[in-house]
Amino acid sequence: MEHISAILANCWWMILLSALIAYLLGSINTAVLVTGIVTKGKKDIRQMGSGNAGFTNVLRSVGKVPAIITIVCDALKCIIAVLIGGFIFSFASVAFQGESPVFINELINCGKYVAGIFCILGHSYPVYFHFKGGKGVVTAAALMLTEDWRVFIAIIVTFLIIFLCSKIISLASVLCAILYAPYTFAMTFIFDFIIYKDYSLTYVIFSTAAALLIGVFVLVKHKENIKRLLKGEEKKITAKK
């Protein structure tokens, strides 16, 4: 409890600054912007296809090239936000000069998670676009990549297997959201805590809880997709040429 109180007392400004910057970056919704540019301002991706301001709807409703631009930019904004969050939390080394490098590194990683979560929130509820955005799958994947490449690879392999077998992106996204927390726990607990002893059990719990929070958020955003999947009505992926 003393450690937590000390972290909150010394890092509150880091938490707020990381969250604010990440949210504002996340609010830059590429799907809306790219669709507006391609259609010369005549169409809004949120009024096309599924109504979702994300990669899949852009692919179906606008085309392959706009979809590629969307997925790259959505990933980049989260990577940038996470790196900024890590940089801001690196100042914790000044506030906790007597602490071990492991503790400081854990704080920096926690800062990355804070930034990543708020970037996902910004993507889904963008302040610049009346709080109507995407479902956060690509931004969540970008967070995985910057936070733990092992989890990212496990998720990507799982996603590809499910998608190649079903041709349904939402099914792959939903199952990966469910598996995100278990994968995170397995990697951090087995490798980082038991084998290499790079992180504490507290960090293992925190990272797993953060992954669980993100996974649940993605599932909630996919609630309509889940209903269609259960009814066998979810469409397979097709791209507009």
Mean of all residue pLDDT scores within the chain: 93
Alpha helix stretches (DSSP H) within 27-148? 30-38, 55-61, 64-89, 92-95, 101-124, 137-147
- pLDDT over 90 (residue 237): no
State residue 157's pLDDT score. 98
Q: What digits encode the pLDDT tens for the residues 145-189?
A: 999 999 999 999 999 999 999 999 999 999 999 999 999 999 999
pLDDT of residue 4: 66
Would you say residue 35 has pLDDT above 80? yes
Exposure string (b/e) for 30-54, b if CB count within 10 Å is 16 or more? bbbbbbeebeeeeebbbebbbebbb
Stretch 112-132: mean pLDDT, rounded?
Answer: 97
Q: Is the dihedral of CA 78, 199, 208, 96 positive or negative?
A: negative
- The CA distances from residue 158 to 167, 202, 229, in Å, are 13, 27, 18
201 pLDDT higher than 70 = yes
- Averaged pLDDT, 64-87: 97
Q: By C-alpha distance, which of 122, 24, 141, 157 is closest to 79?
A: 141
Is 97 a residue whose pLDDT tops 90?
A: no
15 CA to centre of own chain: 17
Q: Is the pLDDT of residue 9 over 60?
A: yes
The band of 12, judged by pLDDT with boundaries at 50, 70 and 90, is very high
* pLDDT confidence of residue 241: 58
What is the reported pLDDT for 10?
84
**Closest to 145 (Cα-Cα) out of 68, 203, 75, 216:** 75
What's the confidence (pLDDT) of residue 3?
66
Rg (CA), the chain: 19
Q: What is the pLDDT of residue 73?
A: 97
In sequence order, what are the residues at sequence separation of 6 or more whose Cβ sits closer than 8 angstroms to the Cβ of residue 86?
Answer: 108, 109, 111, 112, 115
DSSP secondary structure code for residue 49 in this structure:
T
Mean pLDDT of 93-107: 88
> pLDDT at residue 24 above 70?
yes
Residue 2 pLDDT level (bands cut at 50, 70, 90) = very low
Q: Are 146 and 87 in contact (CB under 8 A)?
A: no
Among 32-36, 50-54, 66-70, 81-85, the range scoring the smallest mean pLDDT is 50-54
